[in-house]
Amino acid sequence: MALFSKKSSLPAHPPAGATGEGDFLVTKLEEMVGWARKNSLWPFPFATACCGIEFMSVAAAHYDIARFGSEVVRFSPRQADLLIVAGTVTDKMAPVLRKIYDQMPEPKWVISMGVCASSGGFYRAYHVTQGIDEIIPVDVYVPGCPPTPEELIFAILELQKKIASGEMSRDSRSARFAAERLE
Amino acid sequence: MTVETAVLSPAAEKLAERIESSPVAGRARVADLDLPTIEVGPKEWVELARFLRDDPGCQYDLFLDLCGVDNLRRRGPAPASRFEAVIHLHSLSRNEHARVRVVLPDHPSETPSLPSVESIWPAADWFEREAYDLYGFDFPGHPNLHRILCHDAFVGHALRKDYAPGQRWFYAEEDLRVPEWAKETDERAGHFETQTISIGPSHPATHGIIHLIARLDGEKIVRAETIIGYLHRCFEKMAEKHHWNQVIPYTDRLNYVSAMNNGVGYVRTVEKMLGIEVPDRGRLVRTILSEFSRIMDHCVCIGANLVDIGALTNFVYLYQNRENIYDLIEACCGARLTVSYVRVGGLAIDVPDDFVPRSRRLLETIPEFLDDVEKLVNNNRIVRNRLSGTGIVSREQAIAWGLTGPMLRASGVAYDVRRARPYDFYDKFDWDIPIARDGDNFSRYLVRMEEMRQSLKIIRQALDVFPAKGPVNSDDWHVVLPPKDAVYHDMESLIYHFKLVMEGIRVPAGERYEWVEGGNGELGYYAVSDGRGGPYRLKVRPPCFPAMAAFEKMVVGGTISDAVATLGTLNVIAGELDR
């Protein structure tokens, strides 16, 4: 079963002779949670430019991200746990992106789709943020201008591995904000 | 500055005669470039503008574009002054384009200034704000002269030649300029207090990134202002820093929904400046793929618009057309969305062998999807209630606001540059310009649906005459890269290749305005060359820019839900709007 990682010393299957009713499954809580999280990502498409059109392709009938459990596209950051930044982020848009990221509840992940979001791309210019990692932490970078739908799907699969392993990208700034608010 | 011919063309001669009888006679000069060009000083500009609009022999009623030019680094004969404003106009009744160049005198201590013509052509409003933002021109008399593309903490004027292309400025949320009227509370509306809300810039209904600030009385919008510039990626500054051919990938990302049309418009401009001809086969490929791109553009526009008003299924049907067309385009150039397929003088590579059968197969599948959508939508009660009678633009308003494309045609004006100022083979094909008279959102839906069918008709005729063999590229090796095989085996070709890659195409000094019918209207390119390997100045006339400017006037009096439906039918593409 996919629930168990290879390094786990716990049995990977129910004990022999299990009949079904009243049986139990042994696993680690964090693996169970990771498995549930990775298969129900709710993406917030922060679609600003051309990559947004390719994101539409991924969501439409032909490529269909529903196959990977992430088709519930939410336009409210408070209901989403995956931020897909699809397209160029300009300096004028940067505070908006930061605000949306801060509004998302933990745990949250970020995919930077396309070279503009990852590094500014070929817009080395006076109004373009040179990569969204200037302002928010990123889990998976997808190259391409724009990336093909297959590449974005691959990024989602990579992210699922990361989520299943329980690894989190920490953002010192949002952690500090949270701490200040608690005080 | 520009080479003038001694003999004026008939159009320029006629314009010169009219100017002689105008109030600015003797103070304006008519030159004959690619378009009849009038040169004036800023003092004469308003008088001339009024004359050009009202005089029965001129009737320049459609304001196309206003842009600045900075002559600081221009090579060649010394220009009259550092800054000039260049205006492009069109007369619908006489079917003539014209250019006005307002030469702004140099004053070391004063900002360059010319009077606003917003009261004469309302379409000038946002174009003047743009020139203020990027060049620092002052427009006395403008009602709302603020930055439009760059953020509000920006310092300097980015398109001036002495502004470093990579110089950024820190911008925080609180720097956003909120209009003054939005800060006050307005309690005139009886026992209800009006409220001001902000829609966007990240909102599912704003398609990309548009910010609308609206004052509501109940559910009705009483005042609105749009904030744009959230995707200003400095296209024009980047173009000035690259070779002519290197600009092509940037043009793809203007209207990224129909990338092919942008590239065709751009290379057409450069080819006209060079005076080279592309073989028929290459031009037919451009025509066919441009028309397919127009279908893709309209599919996304209609599909997204219907999603906004709750009809989700149509999006899936229409989007499948895109996927099918992507397959054809991918077979031609290897990319799906941002094609970079055209080159100055032809195409990047020849089309695949099965280009014609592939295209013919698309001609069969696309109408099926369109029929499905029409069955679902045309008599659907909810769609009709949402779209009919909302977002109305009258014929006069459409012209005054500078709208082109489906927006203008849905208001009853049969203006399509493919017909009015034909290029490639559009005058040889048999096709119609669909128009509607109501000017509402449903008219725009109908016009787009019919335009897709007309595009299919054009493609069918183009495929009938498509030559099976033949070159797609010009054989002028000063412009087009020689075949790779020749570069490896022939010294001369190697030298041409080296010079083209290292130095770029040498385009003769001069200027040119060329146009294509983009997905959402007249897409114009104004290019200035000073003889170097790249553009000295490249201005795009984005068709959705005037449409977006009109949006804040169109939504007043309607409800928010009407505004959402209206925004969808404008077909605003942020990459082209903000550049």
Distance to chain B for A135, nearest Cα, Å: 12
**Structure tokens given for A78:** 């408070």
Which B residues 135-154 touch A at CB under 8 Å?
149-151, 154
For B239, phi then psi, to 5°, come to -60, -35
What residues contact residue B181 under an 8 Å CB cut-off, 6+ apart? B215, B223, B225
pLDDT (0 to 100) of residue B504: 86
pLDDT (0 to 100) of residue B6: 54
Q: Residue A94 and residue B230: Cα distance in Å, rounded?
A: 9
The strand pair at B36-40 and B96-104 is best described as: parallel
pLDDT (0 to 100) of residue A8: 46
pLDDT (0 to 100) of residue B181: 81
pLDDT (0 to 100) of residue B286: 92
B138 three-state secondary structure? strand
A39-159: CATH topology is Rossmann fold (3.40.50)
Task: Give the residue from A58, A102, A127 with the most B CB atoms within 10 Å of its CB, the best one to mutate.
Answer: A127
Q: Residue B184 and residue B324: Cα distance in Å, rounded?
A: 52
**Cβ contacts of B322 on chain A, cutoff 8 Å:** 57
A103 three-state secondary structure? helix
Q: Does B579 touch chain A (CB under 8 A)?
A: no
Nearest CB to B230 within list A47, A50, A90: A90
Nearest CB to B171 within list A49, A92, A125: A92
Q: Which residue of A has its CA nearest to B177?
A: A92
Which B residues 229-288 touch A at CB under 8 Å?
229-234, 237-238, 249-250, 253, 256-257
What residues contact residue B176 under an 8 Å CB cut-off, 6+ apart? B151, B152, B227
- Record: contact A127-B234, CB cut-off 8 A: yes
Cβ-contact B540, B525 below 8 angstroms: yes
- A51-103 pLDDT tens trace: 888 988 888 888 888 888 887 888 888 989 899 999 899 999 999 998 899 88
Residue whose C-alpha is closest to residue B61's, from B106, B123, B113 = B123
Q: pTM for the full model?
A: 0.89
Q: Residue B114 and residue B49: Cα distance in Å, rounded?
A: 12
Cβ-contact B374, B366 below 8 angstroms: no
Question: What is the residue whose two structure tokens read 């080296």?
Answer: B498
Nearest CB to B201 within list A75, A88, A93: A93
What's the angle, vertex CA B393, arms to CA B569 and CA B542, rounded to 5?
55
Q: Residue B120 and residue B98: Cα distance in Å, rounded?
A: 16
Distance to chain A for B491, nearest Cα, Å: 33
**Cβ contacts of A122 on chain B, cutoff 8 Å:** 238, 249-250
Direct distance between the N- and C-terminal alpha carbons of chain B, in angstroms, rounded to an integer? 28
Nearest CB to A92 within list B151, B250, B337: B151
Nearest CB to A100 within list B151, B166, B202: B202
Q: Residue B536 and residue B511: Cα distance in Å, rounded?
A: 10
Residue whose C-alpha is closest to residue B548's, from B524, B569, B572 = B572
Name the percent of chain A in helix, strand, coil, to the closest 5: 40, 10, 50
Q: Residue B237 and residue B133: Cα distance in Å, rounded?
A: 13
Residue whose C-alpha is closest to residue B510's, from B526, B524, B492 = B526
Task: Give the residue from B202, B257, B307, B372 with the most A CB atoms within 10 Å of its CB, the best one to mutate.
Answer: B202
- A13-31 pLDDT tens trace: 555 666 666 667 778 888 8
Residue B157's Cβ-count burial label (10 Å; 0-12, 13-18, 19+) is buried
**Cβ contacts of A100 on chain B, cutoff 8 Å:** 202
**Cβ contacts of B250 on chain A, cutoff 8 Å:** 122
pLDDT (0 to 100) of residue A168: 67
Domains (ranges, CATH) in chain B? 10-135 (3.30.460.80), 175-227 (no CATH), 235-578 (1.10.645.10)
pLDDT (0 to 100) of residue B183: 80
Helix (H) or strand (E) holding B553: helix B544-554
* Statement: residue A11 has pLDDT above 50: no
Q: Which residue of A has its CA nearest to B150?
A: A127
B31 three-state secondary structure? strand
Residue pLDDT tens, chain B, 579 long: 444 445 678 888 888 888 888 787 777 788 888 888 888 888 888 988 988 888 888 889 999 999 999 988 888 888 888 899 999 999 988 888 899 999 988 887 778 888 999 999 999 999 999 999 999 899 999 888 999 999 988 988 999 998 988 888 888 888 888 888 888 766 665 656 778 888 878 887 776 688 889 888 888 888 899 999 899 999 999 999 899 989 999 999 998 888 999 999 999 999 999 989 899 999 999 999 999 999 999 999 999 899 888 888 888 888 888 899 999 999 998 888 888 899 998 898 889 999 999 999 999 999 999 999 999 998 889 899 989 988 899 999 999 999 999 999 999 998 999 988 888 889 889 999 999 988 899 999 999 999 999 999 999 999 999 998 888 888 888 888 888 888 899 899 999 999 888 888 888 888 999 999 988 899 999 999 988 888 999 999 999 999 999 998 999 888 888 888 898 898 888 888 888
Residue B392's Cβ-count burial label (10 Å; 0-12, 13-18, 19+) is middle
Domain residue ranges in chain A: 39-159
What's the angle, vertex CA B433, arms to CA B438 and CA B401, rounded to 5?
50
CA torsion, ordered A130, A132, A136, A137, to nearest 10 deg: -100
- Record: contact A122-B249, CB cut-off 8 A: yes
**Cβ contacts of B253 on chain A, cutoff 8 Å:** 49-50
**Cβ contacts of A56 on chain B, cutoff 8 Å:** 300, 319
Q: Residue A59 and residue A86: Cα distance in Å, rounded?
A: 13
- Record: contact B164-A126, CB cut-off 8 A: yes
Task: Give the residue from A44, A46, A50 with the most B CB atoms within 10 Å of its CB, the best one to mutate.
Answer: A50
**Structure tokens given for B218:** 């109940």
Does the bond joining B357 to the residue before it have cis omega, within 30 degrees of 0?
no
- Record: contact A96-B237, CB cut-off 8 A: no
- A108-154 pLDDT tens trace: 899 999 999 999 888 988 999 988 988 888 889 999 888 999 999 99
pLDDT (0 to 100) of residue A62: 85
Q: Does A95 touch chain B (CB under 8 A)?
A: yes
Q: Does A46 touch chain B (CB under 8 A)?
A: yes
Q: Residue A49 and residue A88: Cα distance in Å, rounded?
A: 6
